[in-house]
Amino acid sequence: MDSIGPVGLWQKEGAPGCPQEGLPCSPDSSELIQASLLRSMEQALMGQASPAPAVRMLPTYVGSTPHGTEQGDFVVLELGATGASLRVLWVTLTGTEGHRIEPRSQEFLIPQEVMLGPGQQLFDFAARCLSEFLDAHPVDRQGLQLGFNFSFPCHQTGLDKSTLISWTKGFRCSGVEGQDVVQLLRDAIERQGACSIDVVAVVNDTVGTMMGCELGTAPCEVGLVVDTGTNACYMEEARHVAVLDEDRGRVCVSIEWGSFGDDGALGSVLTTFDRILDQESLNPGAQRFEKMIGGLYLGELVRQVLAHLAQHGVLFGGCTSRALLSRGGILLEHVAEMEDASAGTARVHTILRDLGLNPGASDAELVQHVCAAVCTRAAQLCAAALAAVLTRLQHSREQQTLQIAVATGGRVFEQHPRFLSVLQETVTLLAPECDVSFIPSVDGGGRGVAMVTAVAARLAAHRRLLEETLAPFRLNREQLAVVQAQMREAMVKGLQGEASSLRMLPTYVRATPDGSERGHFLALDLGGTNFRVLLVHVATEGVQITNQVYSIPECVARGSGQQLFDHIVDCIVDFQQKQGLSGQSLPLGFTFSFPCRQLGLDQGILLNWTKGFNASDCEGQDVVRLLREALKRRQAMELNVVAIVNDTVGTMMSCGYEDPRCEVGLIVGTGTNACYMEELRNVAGVAGDLGHMCINMEWGAFGDDGSLDTLSTCFDASVDQASINPGKQRFEKMISGMYLGEIVRHILLHLTSLGVLFRGQQTQSLQTRDIFKTKFLSEIESDSLALRQVRAILEDLGLPLTSDDTLMVLEVCQAVSQRAAQLCGAGVAAVVEKIRENRGLEELTVSVGVDGTLYKLHPHFSRLVAATVQELAPRCAVTFLQSEDGSGKGAALVTAVACRLANQTRV
């Protein structure tokens, strides 16, 4: 009899002899299990696919242990932790440490047929229990927030999104595996129709146990449950979890160690009894480790051993009973009571008699021994697994020693006082460098679930505020079609010389190049990100360009006109010297990207500055004359300024040299604008009816008459007000690179003031104007960037990010740039439709030459523009050509055409 110690069950399956001849307890086995589980855990963390690791290591969306400041009232629905019972709790979090309010709770028994029936029936049952609970407890039923404690292996994709992988323990409802259990619960609550409850979080019992842990000296970073089943969770470094795209912080991982051994790793410790128990279970072959430890199985294991011993004449005089031979005949409660030696053997006798047995004098002691053996083995196995978790924590934190608190929960702990002591002793042996304190869970983990729910509720509220803030940026098809129609109307009025926010300026460019142009030309390109001086050689073999970028300091762009043009001349002189062109008077084309009223090709009156320019005494002046005067002042040689060209026109001409179908020019850079070839007969103010003329729309000013006001947000208004030209260029301010970052910054400021971002802390950097450059928007939205790289960019800007902030900032950027691209697309749609109708065509095939950093560098802008155009102008086949050479080349080509025509006239 002595040989059946607690160790008797460490017997290898199929080993000779019966259990009472079992092997002595082998610390080696514990160490092997510890090492093997640790290996599986690490393989799963690394994302090893094949062979599939024996444990799943499922990341939960819990990123930090409780702060202790969480507060509010929450309903918790518990399903799956404790056998066939479902619990509803009403938990109040006070937000003050040490001040606890006892939760109210009610337990419901789930009928066996519900546990094994259709999924809908189970969730309907849960919803009914919920409403029964709420009927019985007078609570405020409006806006109830529910935490769903669902203790089965799930793939979580959010705090409120969780797909059941497989049922474990005694459940096997159909149609639930592979489904989002939160949605199933929401649907059932809606079917029940009793009250409005928002399911805000779903939590595994281990996580609830960990999160509800009272704050002690050591951080509580492990949650251990031994209830019907068994499992643990712990705080892992996020960078070690391959499936997460995260390099900072920690995340709670549910190990799902119940399935450890499903790959055969437990072969050395499985007994015949384990094998039989597994075969007779609902899920043979699965959850092998759990079946040696979980409360659902301990009674069953004891029953198997007792039946075996009775059948071999060792117990009960060789007699058995119906209960002893039936599945579920002995329960965890029986084992717990019988094992308790302090209560003497009288109770054991009573229980055995209740089981229809007739125990002899020595039987009670032997039965107690069997119970102790089964439970001790369970505790030792559990300790080996916990030791693996502790070792993992040492590895991931690169710490030799570890001081840590483990929150424990579940009926096995509550009912078996010895379980914890065996567990503790074994853990001390297996992980001697770890100083572990065990803390029993509060309210069966309900408080922890409420904690997670509180966090989830806060995040959900933040998300709502984010959505509300961004809603005005999300334009639907109808709104875009209105923009298109308004643009079209403004175009017509502008062309006819009527009051319109679109000036529709004639450019005196009547034709695209025909290929016979030749020669060397100078070009200037002023008004985009860079100021450039170019030497363009148009030859039979094509166009060759040499150019140099010069900076225009802000003080010059906003100083006096004289200063600006003197600076331009200095740059030209410098360029000529460097290129060995001094003394040569080459024909010059001037790309000047501001609204000009042209009276001819070489005469342009600046109507007003746009973008960041504001040099004095230029508006109302002929820009070519200002340039010539500066040349004189600088005593530079005279230049033959042949043409002044808007950047849109330069771009159209440059792309038109390659593709004769290019009849539209589009810029989306610092500013935005478009030009296109209009029928001369439609252009009031230019003599002649035949042929075409390129019209510079100056669409940046679209909406300056108030027509865009319904779409304009308070953030647009703030950006406009802070600009150097309030009330002007309203369309441009919703689209172009100079302003998008500012719109984003204003939204971020607003969200911070609502406490949605940056923990509500306003920072100096976010107050800094223009901190968000177009470049950042493009980088942040790039698909190839991981979220952590996005965060690095934002942190470089000095923003105090939490992990939830990064995604929200990204969404803000997306909303702002998407609106910009769609508005731009609505504009292009208006233009191409007008060309099509002008020509009385059913279908138009046309190309658009495009330039500008936003269009070129933003990862999604061009696609969104094209999609919008296709949607709004389905009868036009539009190809977008990106200009590679800048519009200086186009200006040179305009100049070349003009020279050719002049030569022809002379001839």
| Catalytic sites, residue numbers | 532, 593, 647
Residues in contact with 261: Cβ distance below 8 Å, sequence separation at least 6, in sequence order:
54, 270, 288, 289
Tokens 């030009």, residue? 675
**771 backbone dihedrals φ, ψ, rounded to 5°:** -65, -30
CB of 644 to ligand BG6, least distance (A): 13
C-alpha 515 chain-centroid distance: 51
Give the span between the Cα atoms of 413 and 397, in whole angstroms. Answer: 29
CB of 416 to ligand GLC, least distance (A): 16
In one-letter notation, the amino acid at residue 125 is: F
Give the span between the Cα atoms of 216 and 855, in whole angstroms. Answer: 55
Tokens 């934190």, residue? 397
Residues in contact with 113: Cβ distance below 8 Å, sequence separation at least 6, in sequence order:
none
886 binds, among ligand GLC, ligand BG6, none (CB under 5 to 8 A by kind): ligand BG6
Asked if 862 is part of the footprint of ligand BG6 (rule: CB under 6 A), the reply reads no
Span between the terminal Cα atoms of the chain, in Å? 126
Nearer to ligand GLC, 469 or 547 (CB): 547
Burial 286-313 (b: 16+ CB within 10 A, else e): bbbbbbbbbbbbbbbbbbbbbbbbbeee
CB of 288 to ligand GLC, least distance (A): 11
Residues 873-892, mask of contacts with ligand BG6 (x by CB under 6 A): -------------xxx----
170 binds, among ligand GLC, ligand BG6, none (CB under 5 to 8 A by kind): none
Say whether 315 sits in a helix, a strand or coil.
coil
Of the candidate residues 83, 359, 669, 827, the single one contacting ligand BG6 (CB under 6 A)? 669
529 binds, among ligand BG6, ligand GLC, none (CB under 5 to 8 A by kind): ligand BG6
Q: Where are the alpha helices (DSSP H) in 667-785?
A: 714-722, 730-735, 737-753, 764-767, 774-780
Give the span between the Cα atoms of 140 and 742, in whole angstroms. Answer: 43
Classify residue 322 by burial, with Cβ atoms within 10 Å: 0-12, 13-18, 19+.
Answer: exposed
Contact 390, 424 (CB under 8 A): no
152 binds, among ligand BG6, ligand GLC, none (CB under 5 to 8 A by kind): ligand GLC
Asked if 667 is part of the footprint of ligand BG6 (rule: CB under 6 A), the reply reads yes
Write out the binding residues for ligand GLC, residues 182-221 only, by CB under 6 A: 204-206
Nearer to ligand GLC, 12 or 775 (CB): 775
Asked if 594 is part of the footprint of ligand GLC (rule: CB under 6 A), the reply reads yes
Residues 463-502, mask of contacts with ligand GLC (x by CB under 6 A): ----------------------------------------
Query: Which 8-state DSSP code applies to residue 622?
Result: B
698 binds, among ligand GLC, ligand BG6, none (CB under 5 to 8 A by kind): ligand GLC
Say whether 388 sits in a helix, a strand or coil.
helix
Give the span between the Cα atoms of 177 and 219, in whole angstroms. Answer: 35
Of the candidate residues 186, 611, 834, 858, the single one contacting ligand GLC (CB under 6 A)? 611
Contact 820, 734 (CB under 8 A): yes
Asked if 738 is part of the footprint of ligand GLC (rule: CB under 6 A), the reply reads no
Give the span between the Cα atoms of 741 and 738, in whole angstroms. Answer: 7
Nearer to ligand GLC, 181 or 483 (CB): 181
CB of 641 to ligand BG6, least distance (A): 17
Asked if 818 is part of the footprint of ligand GLC (rule: CB under 6 A), the reply reads no
C-alpha 520 chain-centroid distance: 53
Nearer to ligand BG6, 171 or 613 (CB): 613
Of the candidate residues 153, 170, 506, 827, the single one contacting ligand GLC (CB under 6 A)? 153
Query: Which 8-state DSSP code applies to residue 182?
Result: H
622 binds, among ligand BG6, ligand GLC, none (CB under 5 to 8 A by kind): none
258 binds, among ligand GLC, ligand BG6, none (CB under 5 to 8 A by kind): ligand GLC
230 binds, among ligand BG6, ligand GLC, none (CB under 5 to 8 A by kind): ligand GLC
Greatest alpha-carbon pair distance for the chain in Å reads 133
CB of 593 to ligand BG6, least distance (A): 4
507 binds, among ligand GLC, ligand BG6, none (CB under 5 to 8 A by kind): none
Asked if 528 is part of the footprint of ligand BG6 (rule: CB under 6 A), the reply reads yes
The dihedral region occupied by 294, where left means phi > 0, alpha psi between -120 and 50, and beta the remainder, is beta
853 binds, among ligand GLC, ligand BG6, none (CB under 5 to 8 A by kind): ligand BG6
- Report cis status (omega within 30 of 0) of the bond before 51: yes
Point out which residues pair with 154 in neighbouring strands.
164
CB of 779 to ligand BG6, least distance (A): 15
A 10 A CB-CB count for 279 gives 9
A 10 A CB-CB count for 468 gives 10
Candidate segments 488-496, 642-650, 759-767, 825-833, binder of ligand GLC by CB under 6 A: 642-650
Candidate segments 1-9, 171-179, 381-389, 849-857, binder of ligand BG6 by CB under 6 A: 849-857
Asked if 227 is part of the footprint of ligand GLC (rule: CB under 6 A), the reply reads yes
Contact 266, 278 (CB under 8 A): no
Classify residue 478 by burial, with Cβ atoms within 10 Å: 0-12, 13-18, 19+.
Answer: exposed
Nearer to ligand GLC, 517 or 732 (CB): 732
Of the candidate residues 70, 290, 602, 720, the single one contacting ligand GLC (CB under 6 A)? 290
CB of 733 to ligand BG6, least distance (A): 14
Binding residues for ligand GLC, rule: CB under 6 A, are 81, 151-153, 168-169, 204-206, 225, 227, 229-231, 256, 258, 290, 527-528, 593-595, 610-611, 646-648, 667, 669, 671-673, 698, 700, 732
Binding residues for ligand BG6, rule: CB under 6 A, are 525, 527-529, 591, 593, 647, 650, 667, 669-670, 737, 851-853, 886-888
